Amino acid sequence: MKPGEVGYSILNRKPGGLFVEIQQDPSTTAWLEDVEWTGYCIGTDNGDRTRSLSGYKDALLVDYGPICNGWCTDYLRISGDALEIVRRIYETAPDSQFRVIAIVGKGKALLEAKGFELLCSTESVDWWVFPAFVDSEVCNRIRGLRSEHQIVEILNND
């Protein structure tokens, strides 16, 4: 399984998606860029890839308004101090909208308060969705699964 593939699969392999990766291994965004998604890498060096916008170093100091307000981000993946980063996003970009959020860390109460639903928890990641933005059939098929491999296999075998 390729990094980023679960979020891509949950969104029915949506073309032209927008991602925000915070404190992640750049290989996750490399795969998303290979399927023509574009986005931001924050707190990591994205190398010389041209479709991803980088230059943000400390995720807790970023003003997320220009990054997250004004459109719906398809996929947000956070590791590190996830709870503080989610707080910072909604503090600087209160109108942020996300379809799928993958969190390595804590942030449950804040995400539930924003209307997100915990879809499943895998070995290392909690997968959250905003129900109005994600196909309910997709959610029902993977709700409660414990393996990212299972999620991708089920969703890609349509």
Which CATH number fits the domain that encloses residue 74?
A: 3.40.50
Residue 109 belongs to some domain of the structure? yes
Residue 133 belongs to some domain of the structure? yes
Q: Give residue-wise pLDDT tens across range 30-78.
A: 778 888 888 887 875 555 554 455 556 678 888 888 888 777 889 888 8
Residue 158 belongs to some domain of the structure? no
Model's pTM, two decimal places? Answer: 0.80
3-state secondary structure of 90: helix
**Ramachandran category for residue 16: left, alpha or beta (phi over 0 → left; psi -120 to 50 → alpha):** left
Residue 31: which of 66, 88, 75 has the closest Cα? 75
Domain that holds residue 13: 5-153
Q: Give residue-wise pLDDT tens across range 3-39.
A: 578 888 888 888 888 888 886 666 667 778 888 888 8
**How many domains, the chain?**
1
Q: CA 24 to CA 115: how far, in whole Å?
A: 25
